[in-house]
Amino acid sequence: MTTINYISAVTQALEEEMERDEGVFVLGEDVGARGGVFRATEGLYERFGEERVLDTPLAESAIAGVGIGAAMYGMRPVAEMQFADFIFPAVNQIVSEAAKIRYRSNNDWEVPLTIRAPYGGGIHGALYHSQSVEAMFSSIPGLKVVIPSTPYDVKGLLKAAIRDNDPVLFFEHKKAYRLIKGEVPEGDDYTVPIGKADVKREGDDVTVITYGLCVHFALQAAEKLQEEGISTHILDLRTIYPMDRTGVVEAARRTGKVLLVTEDTKEGSVLNEAAAAIAEECLFDLDSPIERLAAPDVPAMPYAPPLEKTFMMNEDKVESAIRELAHF
């Protein structure tokens, strides 16, 4: 095991998959000589050359669409959207094409495409460099949506995404890139299965179901609350769509009190699927209402620090919400 940061896990996964399979190539804006604006593709251009680490024109629909074409041909493209906020011009290609090609062709064609994009706030990125966009893609059969929280999961899930024969949206928290560090097995070619949630902490009083950077807020809060005698169970969804229904229901049953946490705005967030699954499957096992903790329903995170803080999720907000639920 070595300790690496979240973004290095991205780079390692890319590098190892490119090494392993000639069909894997990277395309996106500034992914080449620049190594990506966050440096996620650093060193790949030097190692694999410009054909396999392709700087594209500034046109997201083309990045997705060209990626889809290459994937149908039989390659395994990894397309980068520079920020999740800039995935929207590519929505038609992702939703109408990538997601529906296997089904519409009755399994004749497939799209083994991975689309990576940094999401999330807390980095003074303002409205358009801070968004969580997963809710828009989490009702689209044919797509998979993955949001990892730890370097271990980043690496294992990104490799799984690249090897997956279906299109995967892979959202990486940009604040986690250099903030979150964790252990990754050295020289071990592992994958983490897409579609499985993961218990990141066991506990008996309150269940927190969350994903991405918020997992860490929950872990920190749980650590503190432990001292007050509150025991928190934390489920990391990891795959947002299709959601691990069994994992969610089990985690809810475990404590009977459920706190759902997202950095995204509240109404219509992906947490709702967890809420609905629990309400369908184990309503009568609950000891308190299902709580949602999320950003306020305003268009996106403002730039001015006090406003950003009001919008952004953090450890304290999670802590109070858990405490409240524990005392319900």
Partner 1 sequence: MSEPKHEALGLERDQLLSMFKTMLTARKIDERMWLLNRAGKIPFVISCQGQEAAQIGAVTALNTEEDYILPYYRDLGMVLHFGMTIQDLMMSGFARSEDPNSGGRQMPGHFGSKKHRIVTGSSPVTTQVPHAVGFALAGKIKRENFICLTSFGEGSANQGDFHEAANFAGVHDLPVIFLCENNKYAISVPVDRQLSCERVSDRAQGYGMPGETVDGNDPLAVYEVVKKAAERAREGSGPSLIETVSYRLTAHSSDDDDRSYRGREEVEEARQKDGIVTFAKYLKEHDLLSEDEEKDMHNSIQKEIDKATDLAESAAYAEVETTFNHVYDA
Write out the residues near ligand TPP by the rule CB under 6 A.
Answer: 29, 58, 60, 82, 86, 89
Q: What is the CA radius of gyration of the chain?
A: 19
Query: Which entry of 124, 129, 173, 216 is annotated as an active-site residue?
Result: 129
For residues 110 and 101, the answer to whether their CB atoms sit within 8 Å is yes
C-alpha of 6 from chain center: 12
Residue 244 beta carbon to partner 1: minimum distance, rounded to whole angstroms: 15
Write down the least CB distance from residue 236 to its own copies, Å: 19
Cα distance from N-terminal residue to C-terminal residue, the chain: 41
| Residue with smallest beta-carbon separation from ligand TPP | 86
CB nearer to ligand TPP: pick between 103 and 128: 128
User: What residues between 64 and 123 interact with partner 1 by CB under 8 A?
Assistant: 64-75, 77, 85-86, 88-89, 92-93, 96-97, 100-110
Residue type, 108: D
Place of tokens 């303002």: 126
Catalytic-residue membership of 216: no
Among 94, 82, 78, 111, residue whose Cα is nearest residue 11: 78
Q: State how far the Cα of 272 lies from the Cα of 77, in Å rounded to an integer.
A: 31
- Residues 6 or more apart whose Cβ sits within 8 Å of residue 24: 14, 17, 18, 52, 75, 76, 77, 78, 162
Give least dist CB 104 to partner 1, A: 5
Q: Among 145, 40, 6, 14, which residue's Cα sits nearest to residue 87?
A: 145
Q: Is residue 202 involved in binding partner 1 (CB under 8 A)?
A: no
Rank residues 35 and 212 by Cβ distance to partner 1 and give the closer one. Answer: 35
* Residue 23 contacts its own copies per CB under 8 A: no
If the CB atoms of residues 185 and 289 are measured against its own copies, the closer one turns out to be: 289
DSSP category for residue 141: B
Cβ proximity to partner 1, 159 vs 200, nearer residue: 159
Question: Is 269 an interacting residue with respect to its own copies (CB under 8 A)?
Answer: yes
Asked if residue 166 binds its own copies (CB under 8 A), the reply is no
Instruction: Indicate whether 308 belongs to the interface with its own copies (CB under 8 A).
Output: no
- For every residue of 92-105, which 3-state class applies, written as one string? HHHHHHHCCHHHHC
Query: At its nearest, how many Å lie between partner 1 and the CB of residue 204?
Result: 35
> Tokens 């070595």 label which residue?
2
Are 110 and 300 a contacting pair, CB within 8 Å? Answer: no
What string marks each residue from 134 to 153 as x (binds partner 1 by CB under 8 A) or -? -------xx-x---------
Q: By C-beta, is 87 or 325 nearer to ligand TPP?
A: 87
Kindly tell me which of 57 and 229 has the beta carbon lying closer to its own copies. Answer: 57
Q: At 300, which amino acid appears? A: A
Contact assessment for residue 141 and residue 176, using Cβ atoms and an 8 Å cutoff: no
- The correct pick among 46, 47, 103, 109 for binding its own copies (CB under 8 A) is 103
Among residues 14, 136, 208, 221, the one that binds its own copies under rule CB under 8 A: 136
Residues carrying an active site annotation: 129
